[in-house]
Structure 1
Amino acid sequence: MTALQVFGDRKFPTAELLLTSSGRDWTGAAAQLRNHPACDVPAPIPDQMEITLAMATSPGRVERRAAGQFQDTAVWTGTLWFCPIGVREESIRITSPLASILHVFLDRTQFEGFAELSSRTPSPANLAYLANVDDELVRQLCLRIHRELSEETSGGKLLIECLTQTLVAHLISSYSTDSRPGLDQQTAGARLDQARLRRVLDYIHDHLETDLTLAKLSDVACLSKHHFARAFREATGAPPHRFISARRLDHAVSLLKATDTSLAEIAFVCRFSSQATFTRAFRRQVGVSPGEFRRAATS
């Protein structure tokens, strides 16, 4: 279990855990979906950025005190809270039970490599401590993380890397005291020419059964991680995680047709965390379970 996951369990010991990214092998990020009882929440000093999103409206309110601020927030679907790294929360009180609260944790290392967004190396501790944040981009990114948490895909690890890169860049450029404007203009020039795109596609083809990461693909393309995700989508029409997920499901189809490899082994080589999540993803895409597909293909 990662330090990010342990922190969530330590901070919310009485909250019901509905979904967790534990076991998903995500890099630099974790997520939990919880039901919270009315209580006073322990407030350990975080070594990660926490973004909280209410997935449903609840009658309770959240009262928080930190950094000289007192926040009293009603809980509606889409309500957002930020708790930056190193913020000592003096108190957190939930007045009535809250249902379906998503917690996204971003590791300190996620903020490295964004010097282009700041007058100096950005510090996550300089992000604002906020409640009831009205930011549709953050909301949609968290909703996509929740979707991956609920319905695992074979490209999920890479998807989370792309989402968190976008999320961290946006947090730094919009909510950091070190930020400077003009990110879109600064990064718009990054492109994948045909030679670099072919290198990346060949690498993906040769390594479908291995752990494809945003860092490795961006190295192959000779771009930064932040630039690569955008450039790949512009060049192929699909984000990296979706492209790779489709190729892995194609690979699964080939294995089911041409080999007697077990379903558990196919799930593993296609980078699913379990046979059950592979079966659900395959059924969503193909319309039948892997076992049903194999029987029909070999009969």
Structure 2
Amino acid sequence: MSLLDHGVQKYPIGDILKSSAACSWPGVAAEVRMHPAGELPSITLEHMEIGIALSCHPNSIVSRKGDGLQQVTKVEPGTIWLCPAGTREEDIKVSAWHEVLHLYLPVGRFDQLSEFYPGARIRAHSIRYLGGIHDEYIRRIGQSLVDEMRAPSAAGHVRADSLAISLVARLAQRYSSDWSYGTNPAAVRAQLDERRVGRVIDFMIANIDQDLSIDDLASIACLSPFHFIRMFQKAVGKTPAHYLNELRLERAKTLLVLGNAPLADIALGCCFSSQSNFTRAFRRATGVTPNEYRNTSR
């Protein structure tokens, strides 16, 4: 089952307002759904699911049972539900409409945590089945993924990967029965030296027109994805997604000034999902549209 197929099976009623399907993120999926009052079928979860309420009817209540644990949650904006992989959910009832951001994570991401936290083995199934929690850090990650869905950037895959990895780490630290507070990621001594930084940047430039992921970049640095994100930002002062996005925008500027390629071709060559997304991102970064930049620079 693909990540987004999970939502199709679990939520047969209601409308999908926004989906990451067009973004083709490899390590996380997201969708905003409008849930009406009603009952949902029983399901055994194959992926980790996080639900974040965005808006709701003032009398909206969600009642659900997972592996025999009954929960009743009064819905408010920011309310979060955790649904771990392997949980058997049943008796799911919704009393009134609410709009929810659903995030789906593959279980493989949790296996990589052992490379980041020495001696720890964080299983995807160890995340607790919880409802009605409020976690501002998770909410901000969710909002960043919504922003990326609405206005895809040139480094969307890398940005979504990075956010997913941060989300997995948060779930492990706060909500896993496997977590030990003696585990200290600051004790990790792996460093991203100048030679490896240069190798990663050279790889970004050589593959600037290709869809890259955090896994691709981390493998070039010979680090786990969790290590790589932290080490790259410490060494360069920017996240991998921010740095790659800037490289692609600079390439777009060069193509605009030195050639007559159509904007749609430049957008595609710089890994924007569409010409409109390219124009929006370019204007946000430079204050002018691509056409205006081409005309004034010449």
> TM exceeds 0.5?
yes
2:85 is matched with: 85
1:211 CA displacement: 2.1
Q: Identify the residue that residue 180 of structure 2 maps to in structure 1.
A: 180
Say whether the 8 Å CA contact 1:232–1:239 is kept in structure 2: yes
**Is contact 1:28-1:109 (8 Å) kept?**
no
1:203-222 pair list within 5 angstroms:
203-222=203-222
Report how many residues are paired. Answer: 295
Residue of structure 2 equivalent to 1:104: 103
SS at match of 1:248: helix
| CA offset digits 1:108-143 (Å, max 9, x no partner) | 222222225485643211210000123222222222
1:243 counterpart letter in structure 2: Y
CA distance in 1, matches of 2:91, 2:236: 48
Q: In 2, are the aligned partners of 1:118 and 1:179 still within 8 Å (CA)?
A: no
SS at match of 1:31: strand
**What is the Cα deviation at residue 260 of structure 1?**
1.7
- Asked whether the equivalents of residues 45 and 89 of structure 2 are also in contact (C-alpha less than 8 Å), the reply is no
Q: Which residue of 1 aligns with 2:8?
A: 9
Question: Which deviates further from its counterpart, 47-56 or 110-119?
Answer: 110-119
Paired position in structure 1 for 2:45: 46
Letter in 2 for 1:186: A
Uncovered stretches (5+) of structure 1, i.e. residues with no partner: none
Change (3 A) 1:9 1:283: farther
Cα distance in 1 for partners of 2:47, 2:162 equals 18
TM-score (norm 2): 0.92
Distance in 2 (alpha carbons) for counterparts of 1:74 and 1:288: 46
Whether the aligned pair in 1 keeps the contact of 2:41 and 2:90 (CA below 8 Å) is no
The percentage of counterpart residues that share the same residue type is 35
1:82 and 1:281 mapped to 2: Cα distance?
A: 33
Report the CA distance shift for 1:244/1:222 in structure 2 as closer, same or farther (over 3 A).
same
Name the CA distance, whole Å, in 2 between partners of 1:148 and 1:20: 11
Is it true that 1:122 corresponds to 2:114 in the alignment? no
Give the whole-Å Cα distance in 1 for the aligned partners of 2:17 and 2:253.
31
Q: SS in structure 2 opposite 1:56?
A: strand
Which residue does the alignment assign to 2:20? 21
**In the alignment, what sits opposite 1:64?**
64
Contact 2:56/2:97 (<8 A) preserved = no
Q: Which runs of 5+ in 2 are unaligned?
A: none
The separation in 2 between residues aligned to 1:119 and 1:199, in whole angstroms, is: 29
SS at match of 2:158: helix
